[in-house]
Amino acid sequence: MAISLSDKIESMLEQVEKPARYIGGEVGSTDKANYSCRIVLSYPDVYEIGTANQAVQVLYSLINNDTEAWAQRAFCPWTDAAAVMRKMKIPLFSLESWQPVRDADLWGITMQFELTYTNILELLDLAGVPIRSRDRTGADPIVFAGGPAASNPHPMGPFFDFIIIGDGERVIPRVVRIYEESKNLPREEIIGRIAQLDGIFTPGSARTTTRAVVPELSLADAPVQPVVPVMHAVHDRAVLEIMRGCTRGCRFCLAGFWYRPVRERPPDEVSRATACLLEATGYEEASLSSLSTADYSNIASVLRTLAEQDPGVTISLPSLRVDAAVFKLLQLVPVRKGSITFAPEAGSQRLRDVINKQVTDDDIESALTEAFRLGYGTIKLYFMIGLPGETEADLEAIVDVAVAARSIGRRDALSPGRVQINASVSNFVPKPHTPFQWEGMNSRAELERKQKFLRDNMPRKQIRLSMHDIGPSLVEGAVARGGDQTAGAIEAAWRAGARFDAWTEMFDPEAWEQGFAVISSTMEAEAMRSFDEKEALPWDDIDSRVDKKFLLEEKKKAERGEVTTDCRWTGCYSCGVCEGDIEMRMFNV
């Protein structure tokens, strides 16, 4: 007698370290008896990371509440589960139904960032779906992608049938409608019809794809009854996106240029949605999410309203800028005061001007002073090395800022003896659609030298120093600005054993060297590649809506050390984004 898939899964759960990753049945998950088609949404990492992803939550809610389709979820099994699944011939299954993902009609996978790409291939293989779109038949789901890393879809293009460029809420309902109307047609014809939509990139197409943009954030789009994970997740709290986009213009930041313009959620909807989230989930902490939450124009009044609604709820404000005025906001609501993070990015004022990080030494000092006086004892400082134009003096300035932070803590903290300064240093990786897209990365030797300088000069007894591994950064840089040929390196690296590349203990540099050897290159050579300002870029067929001439002028201003102020407060710089119904949407008091 054949063993059922459910029985196999139950047997698998007895053999893995964290079975809760695979059981489903969470509060907030959806079960539909009647549906027009089955869509699986996947984040290419383990359950506790993927289930916290806001894009998955938003699209899951949108599909299940506003269409006749049934959205389900599947995340990347950890290596122990993957081994058991292959041994027992268990295909990747969705959490909602324990049915094979390969039997779904549509399968959407998030391209969040480059170090998850081999996990995407792992998902496809575990599902029993051909890795490359050219090998799929009508028996396979139509596989698509979306997410911020889709800003350059070419390195992953051969693995998808189509890729959504931009805001998925704008496109997904139309994709579902086309599929419902065309599902009896041949697979190629369905994909061809979807390809005609705005915001859809199809591999091999000669046309330019323009980023889809949601003109405004509304309560209808907010997942106010999200899935509540059955195990501890990376963001174990209610999360509400209160603003999308940022115009501060940090020249290294893909998100800051890709998600323009700024669109704020109306203040009354923020308070209503937060109340709904807390009631639906039972959480006692709410996170108001955006790229720079303190820049939300009504943040003070929103915080007062939330405090009045539920005085016992703790509010989290992620992505805070280095500004003493921000701490006045933190006094309006209960917040956890264990630690707080600042991101000066560069140690010297000169280099902060180069990258357009509009933070002064006085800003840093005043922000740290206020943080310590309010009771924060642990300060985490984020820096980058390898930035364009960096000198040894800039490295010395990183040490100076960290040492100054420790001195301020000893002077102003409520418990000076318990002050902890954590300096986290990452490696600069140039990204498409930014002013630094033409720049190459530092070599491995250069980054090693700079890391050694910081280790040798940072007072380790006073400051805890952590630095990102260089190998994963080089892979990220090599893939981020790759072209169609990069797909061969990614596939070869996966076949050589690359999995969970963002996990330090899992990164396999030899697998990636084998991968890039397939395309007669190395990850270091690809990462270090710079582009001439006049040559065509691999992602030029993606229109981010930010004018390429504007990005080039920002690059020139970086070379001159000139800043570009935030257009929210100082007027338009003609970046090209605002056009028609796409415009800045703010709700000033």
Express each pLDDT in 422-466 by its tens digit: 999 999 999 999 999 999 999 999 999 999 999 999 998 889 999
Q: Determine the 3-state secondary structure of 584 from DSSP.
A: coil
Position 540 in a domain: no
Count how many domains the chain has: 3
> Residue 482 — pLDDT band, cuts 50, 70, 90?
very high
Checking DSSP bridges between strand 162-164 and strand 142-146, what pairing results, if any? parallel
Both structure tokens of 222:
């907010």
Q: Do residues 427 and 296 share a domain? A: no
**Chain CA centroid to CA 249, Å:** 18
Residue with tokens 């922000």: 367
What CATH number is associated with residue 199? 3.40.50
Position 478 in a domain: no
Q: Worst-scoring range by mean pLDDT, 62-76, 157-171, 365-379?
A: 365-379
Sequence-separated (6 or more) residues with CB below 8 Å from residue 439: 388, 430, 530
Write down which residue in 422, 439, 468 finishes a domain: 468
Q: Do residues 319 and 387 share a domain? A: no
pLDDT in tens, 493-537: 999 999 999 999 999 999 999 999 999 999 999 999 999 999 999
Task: Annotate 243-260 with b (16+ C-beta within 10 A) or e (fewer).
Answer: bbbbbbbbbbbbbbbbbb
Number of Cα atoms under 13 Å in the Cβ half of residue 245: 28
pLDDT in tens, 531-571: 999 999 999 999 999 999 999 999 999 999 999 999 998 98
Q: Do residues 12 and 144 share a domain? A: yes
Residue 589 has pLDDT above 60, yes or no: no
Residue 69 has pLDDT above 70, yes or no: yes
Residue with tokens 């899935």: 227
Range of the domain at 280: 237-336+549-589
Position 331 in a domain: yes
Write down which residue in 468, 501, 536 finishes a domain: 468
Q: Do residues 24 and 76 share a domain? A: yes
Q: Do residues 17 and 76 share a domain? A: yes
Burial of 89 (0-12, 13-18, 19+ CB in 10 A): exposed
Q: Say what the pLDDT of residue 1 is.
A: 62
Q: Do residues 271 and 141 share a domain? A: no
Q: Determine the 3-state secondary structure of 362 from DSSP.
A: helix
Q: Do residues 198 and 290 share a domain? A: no
CA angle, residues 221, 225, 229, in degrees to nearest 5: 120
Q: Do residues 331 and 363 share a domain? A: no
CA distance 108 to 145: 5
Tell me the average pLDDT across 315-339: 77
Q: Do residues 59 and 149 share a domain? A: yes
Q: Do residues 66 and 198 share a domain? A: yes
Write down which residue in 210, 225, 246 finishes a domain: 210
Q: Do residues 365 and 328 share a domain? A: no
Residue 336 has pLDDT above 70, yes or no: no
Checking DSSP bridges between strand 209-210 and strand 263-264, what pairing results, if any? unpaired
Q: Do residues 404 and 300 share a domain? A: no
3-state secondary structure labels for all residues of 64-118:
HHHCCCEEEECCCCCHHHHHHHHHHCCCCECCCCCCEHHHCCEEEEECCCHHHHH
Position 21 in a domain: yes
Position 525 in a domain: no
Tell me the average pLDDT across 346-362: 96
Average pLDDT, the chain: 94
Position 368 in a domain: yes
What CATH number is associated with residue 246? 3.30.750.210
User: Taking a C-beta distance cutoff of 8 angstroms, is the pair 546, 257 a contact?
Assistant: yes
CA distance 74 to 60: 12
